[in-house]
Amino acid sequence: MPGGAIVAVVDGGYDSYDTERRILAPLGAEVVLRDCAGDAARVAEACADAAAVLVRESPVDGRAIARMGRCRAIVRYGIGVDNIDLAAARARRIYVANVPGYGAEEVSDQAVALLLGVVRRVASRDRAVRAGAWNVSRREKMYRVAGRTLGLVGYGRIARAFERKMRGLGVERVLVHDPNVPAADGVELAGLETVCRESDYLSLHAPLTAGTRHLLGRRELALMKPTALLVNTARGALVDEAALVEALREGRILGAGLDVYEHEPPRTGHPLFALDNVVLSDHTGWYSEESVAELQTKAAEEVARVFRGEPPRHWLNRWDA
């Protein structure tokens, strides 16, 4: 790789980028933070002279890719690449890669925490005790976890880690909806309607694509039991948020634990904020000190592979040689 190559980091948020610099400096690359704060026009400007782009949430759309005169790789700090125009990058022969192996333990921990927070009414109990309430258990119904049915939409690394942890809590039956999984030991493969209808806990682990947007809408939510819980640590737009608010407000499902939203951050006064049967977090499921270090290392290593003339290990927008 010729000296002076710019690796543009278009989203801030990490304490430092020393890890990326350590990995890429020997290849003559300069890592430069150009925080675009989700602004597509700023991304296009920031990437114009870059030999590689490292991105978290900001959109890398066709307009930005069209301006890339030197870019050889776009690497997502994370798993989902719905914010990157894969086809436009393929047309320009720009590699797109992600880091699928990181954070499975953290995200699955977050899913368990959200589920238990809803099941055991942790957030509302906290508020009640702080306000002076005591011994008010029967005001909000709770149900035992052991013996329940877990439904998983998507069955990748995170879903399997979540299943393992929920098995430890006594979940008895596991239903899986994932068209990419032909068979799996210890679980029952089922259609989405069956998973919605029969699950006590429904947890989403699918990628966001054109085909999965609003995968759970009014129809699917109407199939769920009135005692069922929804957990989403994947992508907010997998769920029709307006339909979910209606179902929660009207008590047609018991509750939800959400780490992700259709639009992030959710607007001030979002109707979810007024509901007591929801536990919310700020798309933080991926995070631990260990996962950040792993993520930064693996993302930089993908760029390094491309600079050495190799394809990335997790190449997503493949083209014919």
Q: Which residues are catalytic?
A: 235, 264, 283
d(CA 113, CA 77): 24
Structure-block tokens of residue 119: 């099941």
Give, in order, the Cα–Cα distances in Å from 66 to each of 31, 92, 98, 305.
Answer: 22, 8, 21, 23
Query: 104-119 and 122-130 helices cross at what angle (nearest 10)?
Result: 60
Query: What size, in residues, is the chain?
Result: 321
d(CA 111, CA 158): 9
Contact call for residues 73 and 20 (beta carbons, < 8 A): no
Q: Name the burial class of residue 200, with classes exposed (0-12), middle (13-18) and buried (19+) by CB atoms within 10 angstroms of its CB.
A: buried
d(CA 73, CA 227): 47
Provide the phi-psi class of 13: left if phi over 0, else alpha when psi is between -120 and 50, else beta: left
d(CA 5, CA 270): 43
Contact call for residues 1 and 26 (beta carbons, < 8 A): no
User: What are phi and psi for residue 175, nearest 5 degrees?
Assistant: -105, 140
